[in-house]
Amino acid sequence: MRLSAFVSFAVAFVSVVANNETGVPVGTPVPGDYTGPLRPQVHFSPPQHFMNDPNGCFFDGVDTWHLYYQYNPTAITGGNQHWGHAISKDLYHWVNEPIAIFPPDDNTQVYSGSAVIDVDNTSGFFPNQKNGVVAIYTLNSPGKEVQAISYSTDGGYTFTAYEGNPLIDINNPDFRDPKVIWYNDHWVMAVAYAQANTIAFYTSPDLKAWTHASNFTNPGLIAGQSTECPNMIEVPVDGTNQKKYLLTISRGGGFPNGGSGIQYFVGDFDGQAFTTNDDRTRWIEIGKDSYAGQFFWNVPDSVQGGVWIGWASNLPYSGGLPTAQENWRSSMTAPRRTFLKTASDPALFDLVLDLYDPSPVLGKDLDAKTVTGDVSAYSVDFSSVAANAVYLEANITGIGAAQNASFQYTLASATSGESVLASYAFSGAFEIDRANTKGWTDGGYVAPIRTEGLADPGDSWTFTALFDRSMLEVFLNGGLHAGTANVYPSEPLTQVSVATSGLPADAQVSLRVREVLSGWNPPPGESGGSGTCKRDAAPRWTPKSKRVVS
Ligand SMILES: *[C@@H]1O[C@H](CO)[C@@H](O)[C@H](O)[C@H]1NC(C)=O
Ligand SMILES: *[C@@H]1O[C@H](CO)[C@@H](O)[C@H](O)[C@H]1NC(C)=O
Ligand SMILES: *[C@@H]1O[C@H](CO)[C@@H](O)[C@H](O)[C@H]1NC(C)=O
Ligand SMILES: *[C@@H]1O[C@H](CO)[C@@H](O)[C@H](O)[C@H]1NC(C)=O
Ligand SMILES: *[C@@H]1O[C@H](CO)[C@@H](O)[C@H](O)[C@H]1NC(C)=O
C-alpha cells in the first residue's frame, strides 16, 4: 500500500522534511494545491491523497477549532491510516497543520477516535497546564482492534503516545472508533462493536483505566451492517428548557438510497447507560454523501447546540471519486449546528442539522427579490464568482394547503448542458438528481436520491443551498432535513435557478443569491491572497498557541 505510484509524487513536493516512513512528512504540513476545478473552496479537503472520517474534533476554548481526520498520506485510496490535522477560526477558512498522529509500527494503522481537553489533569499528563489535549483512538492491526491514547502539551499540534497503550484490548477484530465526553465526574466513551449491532459505553476517572459500563442496541438499528463511529452529546430541545442525549451511529450499508449513512436515537444518559423509547430507524440526512460525522468537544455555550462535521462520501464509492484527477479524495461536509425539535409525536424528537453560520465566506448579493405566487424562469449567472461557489436562500410563506406545490433548485453549466436538480414536493418528497453530470458515471452516483414522507411544513418553508464546485448541501425547513451531495460536472456549473409550481396566487417567495468567497484561494488584493493557494506557506492568522481553556 505504501509503495503506491503516488509516493514519488508526494516526495517531489516535500522539501525540508524529516521522514521516518517513506513519503510521509513529519513536522511540516503536507502541501496542497486547492485550485483544481473540483476542489471545494469553503469545505475542508486534504492537501493531497485520501481522507475519510473526521477525528478528534475540538474547540480550544479561545479561538481555534481543531479538525483531525483519517488520512492516508501515501495513496489516493484508504490504507496506511494516520491522523491528519487542520485548524480554523470559523470552520470555513482552514489551515493545514503537520500530520498529528502516526502509526506506532508498520503493521498498525491509527483509526478513528476523538479528543478532549483535560483541563483538570485527570490523566496526570499535564502538571502545569489547563490546555492539555488527549486523543483517544483505535489502533488497527491484523486480527485486532484496541483503544489507545496520545497526549499533547502544545494544544493539540504534536502528540506523544502513552506508554501504557493499549488501554482496552478485548481481543476483538471489530471494536473501534471511541468518542469520549465528560459526564459530571467521569469520562464516558462510546465505542462500536462493529459487527454486533451494538455500541458499548465505558467509563474512566483518568482517561487511562476504562471499565465497561453498558451496551446499547435497539430494534431500529438495521441489521447486518457494520456499526461505526458512535457519537453522543447532550443537546437542547428548541423552544424548551429541556436537554436530551443524541446518539448518532454510522452504518456501513443499508441507507435507503444505497450505501452508507448515519442513524440517530434521542434519549437519556445516566452516566452509565443510554436509554430511549424511540425504536424507529431514522437517518440524520436526506443526502447520500454523509458518513462518520462527529461532534466537536467543548463548543462555546453561545452556539446553543452541538457543532457537527461529517465525511462527505458514501462508503461503496468513496474509493472511486473522480477528484483523484486532482490528486485528492474526499471533502468534509460544511459545519452544522445541531439541536432537537419536539416532533409531532410527543414521545419523539427530530434532529436539526442546519448550516453553521456561513457569514465568514459569504460575499455580495448577486440577486435578491420577492415574488408573489409561483416563481418561473428565475436564474442567476454566477460565472463571475472566482470561487465557483454560490449560496441561495428561498423562504416561502402563505403555502396554505397547497399539497400539490413543488419547488425546484437547479445548477447548470452554460457550456456543457450539464445540470443538477434538487426538488421538493410539498406532499413530502425530496429528490436530488445528479444523472445529468458527466464527470463521473458510477452507478451509485448517478442513481436518484429520493426521500418520501417528510413532515408537512405548514404555512411556511425555507430552503438554503450551499454549492461549492463539487459539493452541494441543501437545508430544508430550517435544517430539519439536510442533504449532502457530491457533484461532479465536467465543466463548472455557473447558473443557479429556482422554479415553483402549484403555490397559491398570494404566496410569497423571497429569494437571495450570494457569492461565496474562497477560504483557500483568496482573490488578488485580499490580504494574504494571490489567486493561488498560500495557506500552507503563510496562513493569514496566527493561532494563539499555548492557550488556556476558559
Ligand atoms: C514517526 O514520527 C512520528 C513523529 O515524530 C512518531 O510519532 C512515530 O512514532 C514515528 N513512526 C515510526 C514508525 O517511527
Ligand atoms: C497533574 O498530575 C500529575 C501526575 O499525577 C501530578 O504530578 C501533578 O501534580 C498534577 N498537577 C496538577 C496541577 O494537578
Ligand atoms: C456487550 O456486547 C458485546 C458485543 O455483542 C458482547 O460481546 C458483550 O458480552 C456484551 N457485554 C455485556 C456485559 O452484555
Ligand atoms: C392536485 O393534483 C391532483 C392530480 O393532478 C388533482 O386532481 C387535484 O385537484 C390537485 N389538488 C389541488 C388542491 O390543486
Ligand atoms: C429567510 O429566513 C431566515 C430565517 O428567518 C432569514 O434569516 C433570512 O434572511 C431569510 N432569507 C430571505 C431571502 O428572505
C-beta 121 within 6 A of ligand 2: yes
Cα separation of the two ends of the chain: 43
Site to probe by mutation for ligand 2, drawn from 118, 122, 125, 126 as the one with most ligand atoms within 8 Å of Cβ, is 126
Predicted local distance difference test score (pLDDT) of residue 269: 98
- Which pTM was predicted? 0.92
pLDDT at 261 over 80: yes
Measured CA to CA, the distance from residue 446 to residue 418 in angstroms comes to 13
- Which residue has its alpha carbon closest to ligand 5 atom 2? 395
Predicted local distance difference test score (pLDDT) of residue 84: 98
C-beta 182 within 6 A of ligand 3: no
In a domain, 143, yes or no: yes
In a domain, 317, yes or no: yes
280 with 421, same domain: the answer is: no
**Which residues are annotated as catalytic?**
53, 228
- Which residue has its alpha carbon closest to ligand 5 atom 14? 510
C-beta 193 within 6 A of ligand 3: yes
- When the pLDDT of each residue in the chain is averaged and rounded to a whole number, the result is 91
Residue 242 in grid coordinates: 429541556
- Which residue has its alpha carbon closest to ligand 1 atom 5? 26
Structural domain including 325 reads 32-354
Q: Which residues of 267-291 are buried (b: 16+ CB within 10 A; e: fewer)?
A: bebeeeebebebeeeebbbbbbbbb
Bond into 166 cis (ω within 30): yes
The secondary structure of 83-132 as a DSSP string is EEEEEESSSSSEEEEEEEE--SSTT-EEEEEEEEE-TT-TTSS-TT-S--
- Which residue has its alpha carbon closest to ligand 1 atom 3? 102
Predicted local distance difference test score (pLDDT) of residue 376: 95
433 with 499, same domain: the answer is: yes
Residue 237 in grid coordinates: 430541545
Measured CA to CA, the distance from residue 312 to residue 344 in angstroms comes to 30
Q: What is the mean pLDDT of residues 339-363?
A: 92
91 with 166, same domain: the answer is: yes
Cα Dmax for the chain: 70
Number of domains, the chain: 2
pLDDT at 8 over 60: no
C-beta 215 within 6 A of ligand 3: yes
In a domain, 4, yes or no: no
C-beta 18 within 6 A of ligand 1: no
137 with 275, same domain: the answer is: yes
pLDDT at 547 over 90: no
Cα(242) to centroid of ligand 1, in Å?
Answer: 46
Q: What is the pLDDT of residues 397-437, one digit of tens each?
A: 999 988 899 999 999 999 999 999 999 999 999 999 999 99
Among 296, 326, 354, give the residue marking a domain's end. Answer: 354
391 with 289, same domain: the answer is: no
Band the pLDDT of 141: cuts 50, 70, 90: very high
Comparing 2-11, 61-70, 328-337, the range with the smallest average pLDDT is 2-11
Q: What is the pLDDT of residues 62-118, one digit of tens each?
A: 999 999 999 999 999 999 999 999 999 999 999 999 999 999 999 999 999 999 999
Residue 379 in grid coordinates: 436564474
- Which residue has its alpha carbon closest to ligand 3 atom 11? 215
Band the pLDDT of 258: cuts 50, 70, 90: very high
Q: What is the pLDDT of residues 487-519, one digit of tens each?
A: 999 999 999 999 999 999 999 999 999 999 999
How do strand 328-329 and strand 49-59 relate by DSSP bridges? parallel
Q: What is the pLDDT of residues 364-380, one digit of tens each?
A: 999 999 999 999 989 99
C-beta 174 within 6 A of ligand 5: no
pLDDT at 323 over 60: yes
Predicted local distance difference test score (pLDDT) of residue 20: 65
pLDDT at 346 over 90: no
CA 177 to chain centre: 16
Q: What is the pLDDT of residues 146-189, one digit of tens each?
A: 999 999 999 999 999 999 999 999 999 999 999 999 999 999 99
Band the pLDDT of 344: cuts 50, 70, 90: confident
In a domain, 487, yes or no: yes
213 with 64, same domain: the answer is: yes
Predicted local distance difference test score (pLDDT) of residue 17: 44
Among 294, 329, 354, give the residue marking a domain's end. Answer: 354
Q: Where are any strands of DSSP class E within 382-536? A: 389-397, 406-412, 419-425, 429-433, 449-451, 461-468, 471-476, 481-486, 495-501, 508-516
Predicted local distance difference test score (pLDDT) of residue 536: 34
Site to probe by mutation for ligand 3, drawn from 215, 216, 217, 274 as the one with most ligand atoms within 8 Å of Cβ, is 215
C-beta 124 within 6 A of ligand 2: yes
Measured CA to CA, the distance from residue 195 to residue 173 in angstroms comes to 9
DSSP class of residue 445?
Answer: H
- Residue 483 near residue 465 (C-beta atoms within 8 A): no
pLDDT at 532 over 60: no
Kindly report the CATH number assigned to the domain that includes residue 462: 2.60.120.560
**SS3 at position 37:** coil
Which residue is listed with cell 453561545? 302
Among 354, 374, 394, give the residue marking a domain's end. Answer: 354
More confident residue, 14 or 386: 386
Taking the CA of residue 126 as reference, the ligand 2 atom at the shortest distance is: 1
Band the pLDDT of 521: cuts 50, 70, 90: confident
The neighbour count for residue 495, using CB atoms within 10 Å, is 16
In a domain, 160, yes or no: yes
pLDDT at 231 over 80: yes
Alpha-carbon distances, residue 199 vs 94, 194, 273, 405 (angstroms): 32, 8, 10, 42
DSSP class of residue 305?
Answer: S
In a domain, 522, yes or no: no
Cα(126) to centroid of ligand 2, in Å?
Answer: 6
389 with 347, same domain: the answer is: no
Taking the CA of residue 478 as reference, the ligand 5 atom at the shortest distance is: 4
Cα(101) to centroid of ligand 1, in Å?
Answer: 8
pLDDT at 138 over 50: yes
Measured CA to CA, the distance from residue 300 to residue 310 in angstroms comes to 20
